[in-house]
């Protein structure tokens, strides 16, 4: 039974881990087995947006490209917010066109993300990666159809225990993102918080992953 890692920036190649590796258009590595691709809001370069989206659209035809992202909105970066919104909407339009899930980076912009999703009537799965906020926001996101992925903050912030426990078992995923901690460590904490055996948790996450990504 595999460990499923929704979002990582570094492939480990371990045979017992299914990793969805984050890729950027300008740094695309064809050697990576399964990946998502998108423009991170920190890395939006206005002079090459068209070029980046051309690369993204080409890679979306690849069966190994499982998702779009990470992409999203971040009010704590210097990239103009209206430009971020425009680029995010383009990602969502592609996600609908190619019927790919979306891995979302969101900082202090959750209401805008929800509003845009509903305005555009996005039907493909949308996953907030690295969720670390309060239960009220988790519920609002879940009520609006989002999935939540938990990683480093689950390991480092004990206050997330009750938030994670409140998320239905069919609406979460687990990840490592950029941290040194292993996905096995995230699973151990998640298993304890959910009070279910590790193998049961692995089965739950695999089911969620296959549901979202239609992964055979």
Q: Domains along the chain? A: 3-213 (3.20.20.140)
> What predicted TM-score, i.e. pTM, was given to this entire model?
0.96
Say what the pLDDT of residue 214 is. 84
pLDDT in tens, 83-101: 999 999 999 999 999 999 9
State the binding site for a divalent metal cation.
70, 105, 129, 177
* pLDDT higher than 60, residue 131: yes
The 10 Å CB-count burial string (b at 16+, else e) for 192-212 is: ebbeeeeeebbebbbebbeeb
State the binding site.
70, 105, 129, 177
Query: Percentage of residues in the chain with pLDDT exceeding 70?
Result: 99
CA distances for 86 relative to 5, 79, 92, 96, angstroms: 29, 12, 10, 16
**Contact present, 114 and 140 (Cβ < 8 Å):** yes
pLDDT in tens, 167-209: 999 999 999 999 889 999 999 999 999 999 999 999 999 999 9
């Amino acid at each position: 039974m595999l460990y499923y890692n929704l979002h990582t920036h570094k492939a480990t190649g371990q045979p017992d881990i299914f990793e969805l590796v984050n890729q950027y258009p300008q740094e695309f590595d064809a050697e990576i087995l399964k990946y998502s691709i998108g423009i991170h809001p920190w890395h939006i370069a206005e002079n090459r947006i068209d070029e980046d989206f051309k690369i993204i659209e080409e890679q979306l035809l690849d069966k190994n490209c499982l998702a779009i992202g990470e992409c999203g909105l971040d009010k704590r970066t210097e990239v103009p917010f209206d430009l971020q919104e425009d680029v995010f909407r383009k990602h969502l339009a592609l996600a609908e066109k190619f019927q790919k899930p979306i891995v979302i980076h969101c900082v202090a912009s959750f209401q805008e993300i929800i509003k845009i999703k509903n305005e555009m009537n996005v039907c493909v799965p949308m996953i907030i990666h690295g969720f670390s906020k309060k239960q009220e926001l988790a519920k609002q996101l879940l009520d609006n159809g989002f999935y939540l992925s938990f990683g480093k903050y689950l390991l480092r912030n004990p206050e997330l225990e009750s938030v994670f426990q409140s998320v239905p078992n069919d609406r979460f995923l687990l990840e490592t993102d950029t941290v040194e901690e292993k996905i096995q460590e995230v699973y151990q904490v998640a298993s304890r918080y959910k009070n279910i055996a590790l193998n049961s948790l692995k089965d739950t996450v695999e089911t969620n992953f296959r549901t979202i990504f239609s992964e055979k």
